[in-house]
Amino acid sequence: MAIREIVYTPDPVLRRKAHKVTVFDKETKTLIEDMIETLREAPGVGLAAPQVGISSRLIVIEYGEDEDENEDAPKKLYIVANPEFIKKSDEMVEGVEGCLSVPNLVGTVDRHEEVLIKGLNRNGQPIKIKAKGWLARIFQHEMDHLDGILYTDRANRIWQPSEGEAEAADV
């Protein structure tokens, strides 16, 4: 396992539509473990393979619902290959986002309040995930990376944050 280098805009890999994951071999499992380690080191709550220079439809998310109130709250790890939206709520919510690949900026982005996602787990088995609130926002942000979309493309407003804002917004 290794920490991978996070790529920053304007690296072209961030603007490409990523390729489907078709094999779940040792190389894929190593990439997953490296992405988890890189995410934790960054630190962030989500990471897509294009952010480490790999054009694959693979995301890792680690988030705990009660994280804001209790840093020791358990976090749940999501590993999803080839994620697709099955359903998105009509209700949209504006929130502040940042990105490990777009340093020193944050922006307000409208996202669906709830999403239902299907994909494959780390072993290539089908999974479904229902997410709402901040977790739904994280999934939408990371899945955008797989299509070459950055949150800055969807943002209503972008600015350089104060120190507290930057920590609160990292998606």
Q: So which residues are the catalytic ones?
A: 142
Q: How far, CA to CA in Å, does 158 sit from each of 95, 99, 107, 126, 147?
A: 12, 12, 4, 37, 21
Separation of alpha carbons 147 and 5, rounded Å: 20
CB 12 within 8 A of CB 55: no
Q: How many other C-beta atoms are found inside a 10 Å radius of the C-beta of residue 114?
A: 16
How far apart (Å, rounded) are the C-alpha atoms in residues 125 and 66? 28
Pairing, β 114-120 against β 76-88: antiparallel
Nearest by Cα to 13 from 146, 168, 154, 120 = 146
**Residue 90's Cα: distance from chain center in Å?**
21
